[in-house]
Structures are given as structure tokens and as C-alpha cells.
Structure 1
Amino acid sequence: MIGTAYIDGFDFRNARFDCLPHIFEVAPSRTLELRNLKLSAAQSAVLATRPGPIELILEECTFSDEGKAFVDAAESHKSSFKTLAFVNSSPLNDDNLKRLLQLDTIERLGLPQLSDDLALLPFAAKIDHLDYDILTLSLFEPEFQTVDIVPKKLALTMLQDYKYMQTKIIDVFKRLENVGHFEELKLRFKFDDNEAGIPRFVSYTLISAVMANPNLKVLDLGTDEDDLEWDMHVQTLFDGLKDHPGLRVIKLNVCQAAFGPNYMHLRKLLARNPNIIVTNENDDIYTDGSLVDELYAMHRFFHGSAELAIQPPLERVSLVGTALVEQASNDFCRSAILLSHHADALNELVQGAVSDEH
């Protein structure tokens, strides 16, 4: 992808018909982001028939026919959407949105809050990644406990009055726990009372949900200014997730104090699990510039050592010897890592050295 093309803020319906196709010709590989535009039915159909995998973001846009031509074109042309996102509002009415959710050609779908009748339908859509703003009341409906949740990557922004955090939110996490196939999970709470904080029991139920999804690689708890924050739960989360077999990234937007004195909670997590990194929403790694950096360096050595196992035997022996001399000769931990991964190669090195002496 080469950047993003933006068009913002006017009635586009009277523009020349070839205007949008021309934009696609000039920037075929870009994400197209349209904001506050009014589009005709014909123009919307052009959006759905763009060549190649389509990356389309529509923020507060409207279609003159409420999306019929757009969905018709997507159905008939088997359009492939790498990303299709409706921000703040949907240009499709309920009937056309239902049709869109039947397609199997969308990789990532972003949706704003929908009507009550449609609220649970996106979970069953044949997509890989769902990014969805939803009222918690919709998640508390009995139907949510049985709806088929298809996406492997789920980003939920939950909207509602804070009082519901104290009652039924545990049922939501229990449902996520039962899914079992998540690879990425992003959760945000946007409630009216964002000063009250996240109750402690929520962190425990979240841990249970994450541990029940062994293939989960990314847990994103990053927050915006108006979101409930996780600062007071960092130690609990790290203790509960330290032995997860698949987790690779934990995203948090928290203050330095949340990691404990001298980043104690983070160092404990990293010392236990060499596969995890902890970042903020911008993917910057949290570090103290010293001990945490050393742990990450040890992790890189660990993974580099493990990767040597796939090398051809003769080449592996040579590489292990080089790693031992140049990076591990005066470091017990690194020497132990090499021994645990490559005892046979180290044995060959020793045998070779003995043979050379004789």
C-alpha cells in the first residue's frame, strides 16, 4: 500500500462520472478514504468495482440509494475488499447491510453502532477481521451466547452506561472465552462514567478468556482519552497471562507507574515468557532503557538460537560455534540457551576440537 488518498466534505453526486475511475488509475494501490461525501448510486457502484484488493474507508458518507448499487456491484463483480470500513455512520440501510454481511469477499470490516435488529449479525459474517462499535446491551442479549462468532481477529469498542460494567460484562467475556479461535483481540470500553475505573473482576474474566484462546497472538487493550483505563490492573494481567502459549504482543496505554517500581511487573513477565513484547498503541516498546532492554536482547538471542535449528547440519554447527564464541562465551544464560537448543552441535564442536589436538 502506498499511503492513503483522501477526499473530504462535499456533494460528489454531480462530479463527472469518470472522476472516481481516474483516481483509481492514478493511485491504484492506495487506501481510499472518503469523508462527508454524498455519492450517487452509480458512483457508489464504481467504489465496489475498483480493480485489485479494495481498501475503502467511508466516514459519514451517504449513498443516494442507501447502498443498493454498491452491494449489487460487490455481489456481481465478486469484489475483493482487503479493508471496508464505515466510520461513525453507515451509508447502507439495514436491508443492504444484511446483504453485505452475506458476502465472503471482505477480509477486514469496520462498522459503527448498528440498529438493534442487526447488532449481532456482523459476528457471523464470513470475514477474518471485525472492528465494531457496539452497545453493551446488545452483547447482553441471550442470542449473543449462541451467535456464531466467525472472525479470528476481533476489535470491540463497547458503548454504554458504566452501571452495566458491574453486572453482565462477565457474560460477554465468558462468550469470548468459549470462541477459542481468536488470533487477535482488541477491547475498549467507552462508558458515560469513565472516572470509575475497570472493576478488578473484569481483569480476571479477561484473563480466562485470553487463556482459553491458545492461538491468540495480539491482545490490544490500548485506550483513547475517553476510554476506561487498565493502569491498576497491569500486575494482575501480567501474572495471569505470563504462561500463554501463543501470545506475542500486549498493547497498553498506561503510565510508567503501572509497571511497578523499576518496571518490576514488566521485568517479571519478560523473564518468564521470552515470546511476549509489551507496547503502547503506537507499537513503541515499553522499557526502562536498561534491565528491560537486556531482557529483550536475551529474547532475541533465544529466538535466533532456535532458528538455527532449521539450518543444514554442517552450517548449523559452524553458526552455533560462531554464536558461542562471539555472543555467549562470557554469558552463562546465553551459553545455556545454546546448549538447550543445540547440544548435538556443541558436542560435534567438542569432538572436533579433541580430534584436532590428536
Structure 2
Amino acid sequence: MAITPGRNPNSLLALILPSEFQANQFAVTEKGKEWHLYKFLRAPSAIEELKPYSTGQGGVLVWMDNGTLAYINNGGRFPPPTRFTKFFELHPGVCIRIHGDSDDAILETATFFGTLESFQKQIEISYKNNLDFDDARAEQLALIMDKNQSRKICFIGSKLNSAVSAMIATRPYPLNLYLETASIDNDAFLKHFQGRTTPFGSLTSEQSLATSLFKTIFHQLNLFEHFRVNRLPNDLILQLLSAPVKSVGFTVGEENNDFDLMAADILPKEIRIQTLYEAAFPTTFMLSFLRRVAQLGHLESLELSLCVDDPIPAEAGMALLGLLGASKNLKSLKLPVSGEALDDQFIKDLFDVIEKHDKLTVLSISVYPKMLDPQFKWLKHLMQRNRRVHVTNNHGLDWKYDRELEKLYALNRFLHGSHMVTKEPLSIRTLVLVTALTYGAVNHFQRAASLLGDQADILCEVLHEIDLANEAHDDSSLLKRKGDDDDEGNPADSELGPRRKRQWK
């Protein structure tokens, strides 16, 4: 819900009246309408405090004390026009575009917002290329990266100059760096990266990198947990697939079409391959890759982004099904394909194989075969036979059809969650078991049975503790009775004679 600034005693912002404008402040007008301008009453404690102000009438404009103007919004619209020609934009949960004339002031404001606490898993950064980064300003940017080092850091549409590229190459911690239509200074990055001995983390670049940088990085691939870059020549694809890297990704174009991988020593357990739109389906490459990985059987995650207009060759589909059957440790299969790349019958065959797969938990398909299965019977059958696998669309969302399908998704999530709880500490498992049985599963036999089955060891522990407690209680009662008898001196019974003392062990 949007908040009206200044009307709440706990408001973060206050309206600036035109009569209160400072010398460096001015009105902002868009399509004949003047924007309200605000100032901070106090420093926000976290990004979450800004979210209520980012909605409503397209966000808010906030004048900062250093003369910069911050546009805080939800990222759903273009910013209003201003006199400023430079900007720096952050997206750590809300979209914050900082306008100004001074590079130092813009970076100061960016650091202010970029180092606030945030619950988001990633932060996006972009800026206009006329923003001049020297070493000092690059260190300001480093403060933002240091604060967000556990998150995915995305640079979008910007040219990272030598100072920024050197700063990134020398971060003393593993990064999760994503360059989306952003480029780095190859020479500066190379100069500072080649002496690195500590893990770099993950690097994903949607653009190709310079050959000189390739060759250096490929000699140090052991420093990466994940490495993905586009348009690699065949020799570097082979080197990438043979590297001790957990996760890799690359594109396949016409130049790679005839490359055969049947003799390759493929080591990564997570692989993402994208075919290029302008190229025909790389049959030779894909067949050799799928068959070789099936032989090795070590794959845990596979994503094939097939950008083709026609259905893939039948033999490629069969090879993919063969890989799925042979890869017993495969946990995730994502098929974000375009057009009619996967025909309806292939999806049916895919479901049949997955029905018997023990480890697969994620299946993502871009199009459901509604022509042959308009009532989603294939999906319902799969979800009833394999409770572990979660079938989604490209956006990770459940497929929608009817109430029956929704109930299947809900039930399978519960059953999968019940199984995953077994990996948690005993104290947490006990709490989850009691809570679930009390508030939900007890009213649903199938859920309760699964929960009790998964947590059988806890029940045994609880029953054992109850037995011990009962034994302790019985012993305590008997000892108390003995003490009472001793205190009474074991008086004689008038009919039975002297009472004999009980013998206690």
C-alpha cells in the first residue's frame, strides 16, 4: 500500500514547498504537471522502508542534501525529465535513479542507498557512460559491492572502465557477477586478475570477451564456481567443459555446429547451453553432447535454451530422453525453448521417463502440449506417480488449469517439504512435526501418513523418552511407598501376624 509522505508521525519523507527550495533545487514538470518534491526527515534503516513510497503515483522525487535528486519507484516507468545529464541507478528491491551534475555527489548518494540493508537476492546497477569513474569513485562503488557481496550483482547496459574493472577483479571475496549488456575493460581486468589466487566466485557475461582475457581466465578456471560466456570457439568450449568448475554455460552458433564431443572429458555437474537465433539447430554438436553426458551419468542440472523455429530433430529428442534416463543424479532440467521446438508427443515421452526418475525435483518447460492434452491429464498423472518433481513454466510458476491440479501442486509441495525436513536438526524437526500435525496434516490422512513416515525416527525418540519418563515415575512412586512403610514401623496385622518388609532391588 502506498504511503502519503508527511501525514504519518513516523513518515520518512516531508514535502518541500516551492518557497523552501534551496539555490540548487528546482521544480520538476512532466507533461504540464508539476511533481511534488520531498526531503528525508531521517535516514532510512533499510530498503524495505522505501517500498511503500515507490508505488502510488509513479514513485517519489527526493532532494538530497548534496544536491542530487533521487527518483524512488517500482521500476515500472521512465523517470520524469530533469535538467541533469548524468544518472546512476540502483535496484536493490526498489528502483532508485540518482540524478545530478557532480560525479562525486552522485556516487555519495548511490553509496548511501546501496549500503542499506535489503532482503533481496540481487542488486542491479546501471549508469550513464558520461559518469567518470576514477579510482576514488570506483572505491565508492566497491563499498556498495562489499555490502552486497552475498547477493547477485548485475551490471546492466554500462561500460565498466579501467578503474571499475580493476576494482572488480581485486575484490577479496567470491562474487556472483552478472554482466547484462555491460562490458568490462579487458586489459585492466586482465592485469589485475591474472595474479589472483583466491576464489573469484561466479561470472556470467551476455557478451563475448576479448581473446586475451579468455586465455588468461581459462588458465585459472579453478578459481570459478560458475562461468558462463557467449560465443566461444570450439577449443575453448572443450576447455571449459573439461575444467574443474561446478557450473558452466555457453552459446552454440554456426561456428560450433560440427563440433563433436563424444571423446570429451566433461566435468561440470551443472551446464547451460543456448542456441543462437540466427543459426540452424546444431545437430552434430547437440547429439554428441547429449550422448556423451549420458555415458558419463554425472550431471545434476541441465538447461537447454533452444532458440529455433522448427521442432528439434527426433534423434536429438531421443538423445535427451536417453540422457535423462541415464543421469540418475539429475535434479533440475530446464527447457526454455521458443516456438515449436519441442512437439507435444515429445513432452508426453518426457513425462513418461520422469515418472520413474528418483532424483529430479525441477522440470521447467516453456509451452504445455494443450493440443494433445487440453485437460492436463499427462501432468496430473506425472504428479501422482512422482511426487518429488515440481513442473513449472519458464518463470518458475505452476501450470494452471483447474482445482484438481492446484490441489496436486499443494499436496506434492507438502510431501516434498516433509521429506526435506529430515535434513534439519532434531530440534527443528520435532517442532515442525508437532506444528504440522496440530494445525493441518492431522486432518488429511495422506499428508499425516507421509509426515509420520518421514519423521519415524523422531517418533521413536519421543516414545522412548515417554517410556523412560513412565519408568522413572513408577520407580519414584514405589520408593515413596517404601519410605512410608519404613516410617510406620511395619505394624503387625491382627489377623495375619507381623507384616514382612518388601524386598527392593
> Which interval holds the TM-score relative to the shorter structure?
0.7 to 0.9
Partner of 2:241 in structure 1?
Answer: 123
CA shift at 1:122, angstroms? 1.5
Where does residue 388 of structure 2 map in the other structure? 275
Which of 143, 152, 174 is equivalent to 2:269? 152
CA offset digits 1:91-147 (Å, max 9, x no partner): x22x431220222221221211123443322112332111211236636434x2222
- Cα offsets for 1:274-327 (capped at 9, x unmatched): 1001011111011324112222233244345544798869x9699589839953
* Structure with the larger helix share: 1
Query: Which residue is 2:316 aligned to?
Result: 202
From the superposition, tell whether residues 124 and 27 of structure 1 become closer, same or farther in structure 2 (CA, over 3 Å).
Answer: same
- TM-score, normalization by structure 2: 0.57
Aligned with residue 87 of structure 1, among 201, 206, 209: 206
Aligned length in residues: 336
Residue 155 (structure 2) pairs with residue 33 (structure 1): yes
Q: Report if the CA contact (8 A) 2:123-2:154 is conserved.
A: no
- Name the % identity: 23
| Residue 5 (structure 1) shift | 1.4
CA drift at 1:80: 3.2
Give the alignment of 1:1-358 within 5 angstroms: 1-7=121-127, 10=129, 15-28=133-146, 29=148, 31-35=153-157, 37=159, 39-40=161-162, 43-58=164-179, 59=181, 61=183, 63=185, 67-90=186-209, 92-93=210-211, 95-103=212-220, 104-135=222-253, 138=256, 140-142=258-260, 144-159=261-276, 161-162=279-280, 164-165=282-283, 169-191=286-308, 194=309, 196-223=310-337, 225=338, 228-229=341-342, 231-255=344-368, 257=370, 260-303=373-416, 305-306=418-419, 307=421, 319=433, 323=437, 327-328=441-442, 331=445, 333-334=446-447, 337=450
SS at match of 2:236: coil
User: Which protein is bigger by CA-based radius of gyration?
Assistant: 2
- How big is each residue's C-alpha offset from its partner over 1:219-253, in whole Å with a ceiling of 9 and x where there is no partner? 00013x57834545211110122111110010011
SS of the residue corresponding to residue 120 of structure 1 reads helix
1: CA distance, partners of 2:168 / 2:432? 55
Deviation at 1:184, TM superposition (A): 0.9
Whether the 8 Å CA contact 2:122–2:154 is kept in 1: the answer is no
Could you tell me how far 1:169 is from its partner in structure 2? 3.9
**Taking structure 1 as reference, are residues 338 and 49 closer, same or farther at Cα in structure 2, changes over 3 Å only?**
closer
3-state DSSP of counterpart to 1:215: coil
Q: Shift of residue 11 of structure 1? A: 7.0
**1: CA distance between counterparts of 2:145 and 2:285?**
47
CA RMSD, aligned part only? 3.8
Helix, strand or coil at the partner of 1:257 = coil
Q: Which moved more, 1:243-252 or 1:304-313?
A: 304-313
For residues 210 and 140 of structure 1, do their structure 2 counterparts lie closer, same or farther at Cα, with a shift above 3 Å needed? farther
**Match of 1:356?**
none
d(CA) in 1 for partners of 2:382, 2:290: 23
Using the TM superposition, give the Cα deviation of residue 258 of structure 1 relative to its aligned residue in structure 2, in angstroms: 5.8
Distance 1:171 1:24, change over 3 A: same
The alpha-carbon distance between structure 1 residues 245 and 300, as it changes in their structure 2 partners (threshold 3 A), is: same
- Indicate if the aligned counterparts of 2:333 and 2:364 stay in contact, CA closer than 8 A: yes
Paired with 2:372 and 2:415, the residues of 1 have a C-alpha distance of 24
Once residues 140 and 211 of structure 1 are traced to their aligned partners in structure 2, the CA distance between those partners, rounded to angstroms, is 26
Q: Would you say the 8 A contact 1:203–1:237 is kept in 2?
A: no
Matched-pair contact (CA < 8 Å) for 2:344–2:369 = no
- Look up the SS of the partner of 1:4 in the other structure: strand
TM-score (norm 1): 0.78
